[in-house]
Structure 1
Amino acid sequence: MLRSGIKGAWRVAQTTSVLAKTGVGWLRGDRPPTPQLLRETFEDLGATYIKLGQFIASSPTLFPEEYVEEFQACLDQTEALPFSYIESVLKKELKQPLSDIYAEIDPNALASASIAQVHAAKLVTGEDVVIKVQKPGVEHVIHTDMNFIHLAMKILEMITPHLEMASLADIVGEIQKSMMEECDFLKEAQNIEEFERFLARTDNTLVVVPKVYHQASTSRVLTMERLYGVSMTNLDAIKQYSENPEMTLRIAMNTWFASLHQCEIFHADVHAGNLMVLTDGRVGFIDFGIVGRLTPGTWDAMNDFGEALISGDYETMADAMVTVGITKQKVDTHKLSRDLEKFIKRVDGLQSVSYLDITETENDINKLLTEFVKMAKRHGIQFPRQFGLLIKQLLYFDRYRHVMAIDLVAEDYLAFLQ
């Protein structure tokens, strides 16, 4: 208890030091635009605030455009810790000699982010796996920092008087829930296995998720099957493993759309790094740290919106947006439908390319989502975050459709919903 208290006090001191440094710089005349200043401060503050920045970047339904755009640069990529630190976490969490579980572990990280680091390994039973390991001390930092999130929101409100969003309490609750779920690897394991059960119920053998090895997993360690494949945006590479790339994308879309109403969760981050075409031609969904859950009302509105989107019925799309959104005024759905038509035609006019950089794609998608939300706000509609997550995934799939030059029609979409 004392140790935890000391660590918390030290973290408070670190946070105060960073904020003081920012304040001194501002007084000395180093005064970048407020969104940039806030983003740079968040990056200096570390793991929790980087996650908060990413939450802002992915939530144009909650935050102003200038903040959403600025926080696109809040990258969650950090230098890898020496393997000795990761090894200490593994030994502490798994409570047995690592040689009893792993035949080998690559000391060089496959990836390193603010909260976790990923290493390739092989089990003693011969399976290739990846190990996602929470970095030492992160849980103490997050626990302490959550108290500062309330303050951060109040500062954001103070420096942005016309901030258009839901109540601060709701936003802080959403942030806390999102961050805590992403930091609990047992929760991520549950998400993976819930999606796996959905695949089994629907007799879907063309899509896979990584197998979780529970004997080597805890809330801070997640050992999963290693899937080998290529990004969904690399058409040339896809052709090496799939005889029909168009059908491969249809399978991915079919599965994702079906999960909206046949699974307790849906994958809420289907960017190119998380959606793979495997070497055996199947589709792999990976990284279930960010998932969404739909209420029946949101699903019904999403269903109407999707059908209308494919058939070009912009009036029905407008009605669905009004149904799912929060409005304080009467919405002119006829005007909204005209704006929707312009937006959709602009999205459809995007140039098709054979390969897109993951970061470039992410930035493009976030810009489109921000534009969509701005359009809704002009008509007095504010969306709940879950609907924003849904629209973002639709934009990802639309990008993949452009990459593969696939022309979907209404019948295709309706088939996805069966």
Structure 2
Amino acid sequence: MRKKQLFAGLRSVARIGETAVVAAKAGIKYATDKPSNAKLMRETFEELGSTYIKLGQFIASTPSLFPREYVEEFQKCLDQTPTLPFAYIEQVLQQEFPGQNLADIFQSIDQKPLASASIAQVHAAVLKTGEDVVIKVQKPNVETILYTDLGVVHFATKMLERVMPKVKFASLSDIVDEIRTRMVREVDFIEEAQNLEDFVNYLQLTQNVSATAPKVYHQFSTRRVLTMQRLYGVPLTDIDVVKQYSKDPSQVLISAMNTWFGSLMMCKSFHADLHAGNLMLLEDGRIGFIDFGIVGQLNPDVWAACIRFMDALQNTHYQDMASNMLQMGMTDRDIDTNVLAQDLERLFSGVLLADPQQLLSTNPADLNDIMLDIVAVGERHGIRFPRDFALLFKQMLYFDRFMRVLAPYTDIYADNRLKMLHDIEPHSKLIH
């Protein structure tokens, strides 16, 4: 144990030195090339790797906390890393299943990974019992790097708050604490397995047969390894292939959206990263939801307020928009909803008077601008939106992209098949 702690300490010292070198290079680049602060920060974060990339993605998805230029710049933040040699994957599997011969667990493991990101690498495999699975294996020293990096960032924010007590975001160190909590959860595959189980339980309780998620093999899963059923399907962004499995691509999208909207009301967490790589159409026509590493949490009342806000926005009822904005966000001020409604009217009147029906059909970049504008108006009135509001809106952008492929000539939000608010009572969340 003492030897392990010593190695962890040495890795932390080495990581601090590496961070200092990258920071020095960034300083030289700023002095010579004069890039924008946001761009330099984003490029530096990408060079520093996994923790800082995740921090950048947090900035990109939290417009209520960070300046607009940083939010927009960090939307370019990458989450791709070089693949690791298969020998490392075997080594981790041996460490996580001590005393067991891997040949007694896996009939075969593909040496070429299916995917590689900052935290983990994924390989296809076949269990000894014949089931096709995928194995998600954590990359080396992820936790040590995570704690070291966040320790450095936390120290830096504390110093910044001391030197600049009137800095706009005076609670930066609290924000870092929140990021730490969320990122530690992401590197705990036992928690990801629980997220998956919760979603499967929700599908069973609601008798939803149009969607599915992978089965978790708990006996072959640990904090660093997650073994799941392999689902075979096609991405919803390939319309030609989707048509081979479904006569009505718009119904595929509506089923996926209804399933996700229901989870907002009835699960303790919702899938917060449902892009084209994590949503697929299976050969039997069901929609497969995969990769539950990034989840959000939402009070059903907040989601109901979001729906009412969007409905009021479509109908240009600015007073109702203002009232529901208060229910969506948090504030310690007494808000004059009449003044807030006037600000919202000034913001949206140009867009909506042109064509009210185009608001939710515009391109993703415009929708993102709309979200930033809403947040900016809220900030002026002392309203702070929860981070999960941004995750929610990000998912709406993903759905917008799916709509352009699967239902380009249909107003999905006006379709009576779509149920953004489910009639089933949440029962304080069905999943416990």
Q: TM-score, normalised by structure 1?
A: 0.88
Q: More deviation in 133-142 or 370-379? A: 370-379
Unaligned 5+ runs, structure 2: 424-432
Give percent identity, aligned residues only: 51
Deviation at 1:77, TM superposition (A): 0.4
Report the number of matched residues: 407
Paired position in structure 1 for 2:430: none
Query: Any idea what the Cα deviations from partners look like across 1:330-376, whole Å, max 9, x if unmatched?
Result: 3424324433465574544537xxxxxxxxx7x77655543443454
Question: Are 2:144 and 1:140 equivalent residues in the alignment?
Answer: yes
User: CA contact under 8 A between 1:133 and 1:221: conserved in structure 2?
Assistant: yes
Which residue number in structure 1 is paired with residue 96 of structure 2? 93
The alignment's C-alpha RMSD in Å is: 2.8
TM-score, normalised to structure 2, is 0.85
Amino acid at match of 1:174: E
- Shift of the 90–340 alpha-carbon distance from structure 1 to 2, 3 Å rule, reads farther
Aligned to 1:31: 34
Amino acid at match of 1:196: V
Check 1:364–1:236 CA distance in 2 against 1; reply closer, same or farther (3 A cut): farther
Distance of 2:422 and 2:317 partners within structure 1: 18
Partner deviation per Cα, 1:133-190 (whole Å, 9 max, x = no partner)? 1111222111211201214545887999997557223311221122111111111100
State the SS of the aligned residue for 2:199. helix
Aligned mates of 1:334, 1:343 — CA distance in 2 = 16
In structure 1, stretches of 5+ residues that fail to align are 352-360
CA shift digits 1:216-258 (9 cap, x unpaired): 2111111111112222233222111112212111111111111
Q: SS state of the match for residue 211, structure 1?
A: coil
CA distance in 2, matches of 1:192, 1:25: 44
Measured after TM superposition, the shift of residue 117 of structure 1 is 0.8
Matched residue, 2:122: 118
Residue in 1 aligned with 2:394? 392
Equivalent residue runs for 1:41-56 within 5 Å: 41-56=44-59
CA contact (8 A) 2:11 2:144 kept: yes
Matches within 5 A, 1:184-199: 184-199=188-203
Deviations 1:27-64 (Å, cap 9, x if unpaired)? 5x233111111112212222111111111122222211
| 1:172 lines up with 2:184 in the alignment | no
**Contact 1:63–1:164 (8 Å) recurs in 2:** no
What one-letter code is carried by the residue in structure 2 that aligns with 1:417?
H
Contact (CA 8 Å) 1:307, 1:413: kept in 2 or not? no
Structure 1 pair 395/162, CA: closer, same or farther in 2 (3 Å)?
Answer: farther
Whether 1:330 aligns to 2:336 is yes
What is the letter of the counterpart of residue 238 of structure 1?
A: V
Give the 5 Å matches for 1:342-353.
342=350, 345=356, 347-350=359-362
Per-residue deviation, residues 357-407 of structure 1 (Å, max 9, x unmatched):
xxxx7x776555434434544565431112222222223323333431332
Pick closer, same or farther for the CA change 1:103–1:400 going to 2, 3 Å. Answer: same
Change (3 A) 1:149 1:415: closer
Change (3 A) 1:326 1:220: same
Partner of 1:3: 7
Given that 2:233 and 2:282 are in contact with CA atoms closer than 8 Å, whether structure 1 keeps it comes out as: yes
| Whole-angstrom distance in 2 between the partners of 1:272 and 1:80 | 21
Structure 2 CA distance for aligned equivalents of residues 398 and 17 of structure 1: 41
Distance in 1, matches of 2:395 and 2:167, equals 26
CA–CA separation in structure 1 for the residues paired with 2:343 and 2:156: 34
Counting only pairs closer than 5 Å after superposition, residues 7-22 of structure 1 correspond to structure 2 as 7-22=11-26
